[in-house]
């Protein structure tokens, strides 16, 4: 009987000790790149819209092509760089800098 009481007390202390563990607060630092919808229009030197211009986010696989009016819309990080390319024209890099609308390119 004495062994059972002693065993029960030890078991109880072990369980209670296991329940009385103090959690250690852990702080995780997660950097989130805010993604925004960037809109714009690509035109030639005469102001006419260019159809089929490739707009891609630099260092990513995200990209779009301009529509019949030269307009585009792409999801990109607020600090992204857009690479604009078109046959017969020199590639151009545009910094987004948090802008949701890019003036005519």
- pLDDT tens digits, one per residue of 22-71: 555 555 554 556 899 999 999 999 999 999 999 999 999 999 999 999 99
CA angle 89, 90, 92 (to 5 degrees): 120
Q: In which residue are the tokens 């995200």 written?
A: 62
Measured in whole angstroms, how far is the alpha carbon of residue 102 from the centre of its chain? 19
- pLDDT tens digits, one per residue of 7-34: 555 555 555 555 555 555 555 554 556 8
Question: Does pTM top 0.95 for this prediction?
Answer: no
In this structure, are residues 51 and 70 in contact, taking their beta carbons and an 8 Å threshold?
yes
């Amino acid at each position: 009987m004495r062994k059972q009481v002693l065993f029960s007390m030890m078991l109880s202390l072990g369980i209670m000790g296991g329940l009385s563990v103090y959690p250690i607060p852990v702080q995780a630092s997660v950097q989130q790149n805010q993604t925004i919808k960037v809109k714009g229009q690509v035109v030639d030197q005469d102001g006419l819209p260019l159809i089929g211009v490739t707009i891609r986010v630099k260092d990513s696989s995200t990209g779009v092509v301009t529509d019949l009016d030269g307009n585009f819309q792409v999801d990109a990080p607020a600090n992204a760089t857009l690479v604009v390319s078109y046959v017969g024209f020199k590639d151009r890099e545009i910094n987004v800098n948090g802008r949701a609308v890019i003036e005519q390119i």
